[in-house]
Amino acid sequence: MERDIARVIITQEQLAHRISELGAEIAAVYPPNEDLTMVTILSGSIVFFSDLIRQLPMKMHIGLITVSSYGGATTESRGPQLLDDLNVDVTGHHVLIVDDILDTGRTLRMVRNRMADRGVRSVRAAVLLRKTAKAPADVHAEFVGFDIEDEFVVGYGLDYNNLYRNLPHVAVLKPELY
Ligand code: PRP
């Protein structure tokens, strides 16, 4: 797997350090003793989500929602499709949506809108990566790990054709693989 990598963008150490900082930023925002549900957008956010929640000291509920835009061997979004809706009731809860990457923003826009329709107390979003050149102004993430260039990245949950999610760092693949 490592031989397919052209370049590491973010190392394991950088990821661990920044996620620890993000945990502190998030913990400072949420009042104790109010219901918080962390909603992970499957599948890309699984690694980031599991590391982030273990940096948070407060009690929380966990919610899952599955949205997919990049099926098969493609780097082009076909638009977000809801594959599995949220599996828990978030009425009256603070909701923190967690995703691996904010790219065109269409996934996060869709999930934010769905949460707002459910009578929640607040909705915020945390993304590990944000493509600054592409993320639209109307799709906001309150917590951002890293701003990156507009290039296709894999690893730490992000895939190409459902591979490379288990790379421990964020990387760019060799061009001949696409
Ligand atoms: C990826 C990623 C984000 C979304 C971001 O998911 O995990 O959820 O695309 O792209 P956008 O900002 O352009 O909407 P993908 O659809 O590839 O599914 P996956 O999470 O199963 O990899």
The predicted model gives 165-177 an average pLDDT of 94
Is residue 169 one of the residues assigned to a domain? no
Is residue 171 one of the residues assigned to a domain? no
CB 65 within 8 A of CB 84: yes
- Single out the catalytic residue among 35, 103, 138, 147: 103
Is residue 66 one of the residues assigned to a domain? yes
Ligand 1 lined by 105 (C-beta under 6 Å): yes
Is residue 7 one of the residues assigned to a domain? no
Q: Confirm whether pTM is higher than 0.85.
A: yes
Could you tell me the CA-to-CA distances from 14 to 141, 168, 172 in Å, in that order? Answer: 20, 11, 16
pLDDT tens column, 20-51: 999 999 999 998 889 999 999 999 999 999 99
* Confidence at 71, pLDDT banded by 50, 70, 90: low
* Confidence at 171, pLDDT banded by 50, 70, 90: very high
Tell me which residue range forms the domain holding 55.
14-150
Ligand 1 lined by 121 (C-beta under 6 Å): no
Is residue 135 one of the residues assigned to a domain? yes
Ligand 1 pocket, mutate which of 70, 98, 129, 158 (most atoms under 8 A from CB): 70
